[in-house]
Structures are given as C-alpha cells and as structure tokens.
C-alpha cells in the first residue's frame, strides 16, 4: 500500500478562480479580430496553455498568422489579463484551500503547483499563498502542456517523490488526463460529467480536507 507523500495542485479553479479574467481578456482580443468567440467556446481553453488557447481561437477563421503576429497577440491578451489580476487578494483563495494547505504542511505532506499559467508566481504572491507550496511548476519549465503528464511528473520529481505517492487536484478534463497519465491519484473539482475519469470527484474545493484525501487515496492504493 502506497503512502501519500505529496499533493500537486492546479491553480485556476483549484487554488483560486481567475477563469473570468481569462475569458474577458480572450473575449477582448477576439472582438478586436472579429472572431465569434463566446463562453461556450471558452470552455475548450480550460487547462490549456496560452499559445494553444490562441491557436484554438484563431482557428475560428481561416486567416493565416505568422509566428510573430501570434506572439504579439498572445502578449496583448496577457497584458489585459495581468491588468485584471492586479485586483486579486488573499480573499480570492477558493473555499477550504488555505485550511487544506495548512493541514498538508502540518502533516509533513509536500505540495507543488502544476499550472498552465505563466503568471502563476505573480498570482500566488497576490494571494499571499506562495509559502504554502514547496515547488511551483509552470509552462516555462516544460516542453508539453496538459493533457501531457510532464508538468505533474516534473512536480513529483522536484518534490523527490514517486508519482504513485501523489495526489493531483484539477478542475479541467485535460488536467485530469495529465494526472492519470502520470500515474497519480486524480481528484476532480467540478461537475461529474466533466470529471468522470477522476478517482475522486468533489463539487467544490470546500469539500476538500486532508482526511478525505488520505482515506480515498488508501482505498485506491
């Protein structure tokens, strides 16, 4: 039986919720380009990197963009997004997350962040939550984004633990796929229809606790 030694968190939708800021920033760019972007299409961008998200949005029309143009568009979106997230405070930590992070630290269970956002360190600073995490792995450190397992495997390696000793917590289907492909126990936050492959599903971060994670991890291992 494996012992739980680490928990690796996604950022958006698990630690805090900046999804609306991402949507508004992409919507601003899409409007500028005359693309038919909406909230339904935005669901496809969850857990996906900035450049991959841009490619999906640009695919809404057959216009060809150079790599330089794409880079400028991605930077423009990110500048709008960064202006919005300047408003983030510790009050924007999702329900139950600070308590869970404190429980994990007190129990000696290591923690890491596995985020598709290049702004993850800035957001953690705004949340005043960086000290709860032993390592932060973002897309700057990996070659392949979710659903590839690289980001979670990198997190486990940085923490010095085996993937089978880890729980990964995600709110996006691509993230759940990445956790499972890494050989970790997958916890999904959100609607069961979107999280159906996860080992454990909770409707809200408020349901998460160390006892819940440990008891379910033991059952699976």
Nearest alpha carbon to residue 123 among 158, 82, 95, 172: 82
Active site residue 148: no
The tokens for 78 are 């990110």
For residue 141, the 8-state DSSP code is G
Nearest alpha carbon to residue 217 among 179, 172, 171, 177: 179
Q: Where are the alpha helices (DSSP H) in 10-163?
A: 19-33, 39-42, 50-58, 67-85, 97-106, 120-127, 150-159
Active site residue 138: no
Sign, Cα dihedral of 137, 139, 144, 147: positive
> Who contacts 115 (Cβ-Cβ below 8 Å, separation ≥6)?
10, 11, 12, 136, 137, 138, 139, 151
CA distances from 173 to 51, 169, 181 (A): 18, 11, 12
Calpha distance 216→221 (Å, rounded):
9
The tokens for 50 are 């900035």
Which of 12, 27, 138, 199 is the catalytic position? 12
**Whether 206 contacts 96, CB under 8 Å:** yes
Residues taking part in catalysis: 10, 12
């Amino acid at each position: 039986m494996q012992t739980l030694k680490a928990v690796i968190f996604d950022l958006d939708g698990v630690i805090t919720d900046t999804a609306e800021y991402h949507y508004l920033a992409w919507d601003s760019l899409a409007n500028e380009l005359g693309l038919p972007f909406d909230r339904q299409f935005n669901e496809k961008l969850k857990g996906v990197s900035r450049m991959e998200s841009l490619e999906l949005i640009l695919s809404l029309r057959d216009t060809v963009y150079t790599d330089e143009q794409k880079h400028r568009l991605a930077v423009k979106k990110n500048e709008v997004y960064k202006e919005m997230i300047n408003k983030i405070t510790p009050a924007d930590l999702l329900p139950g997350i600070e308590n869970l992070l404190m429980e994990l630290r007190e129990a000696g269970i290591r923690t890491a962040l596995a985020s598709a956002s290049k702004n993850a360190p800035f957001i953690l600073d705004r949340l005043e939550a960086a000290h709860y995490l032993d390592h932060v792995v973002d897309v700057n450190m990996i070659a392949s984004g979710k659903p590839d397992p690289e980001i979670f495997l990198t997190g486990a390696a940085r923490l010095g633990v085996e993937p089978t000793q880890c729980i990964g917590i995600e709110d996006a289907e691509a993230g759940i796929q990445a956790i499972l492909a890494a050989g970790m126990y997958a916890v999904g936050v959100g609607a069961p229809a979107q999280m159906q492959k996860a080992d454990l599903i909770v409707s809200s971060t408020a349901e998460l606790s160390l006892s819940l994670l440990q008891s379910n991890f033991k059952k699976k291992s």
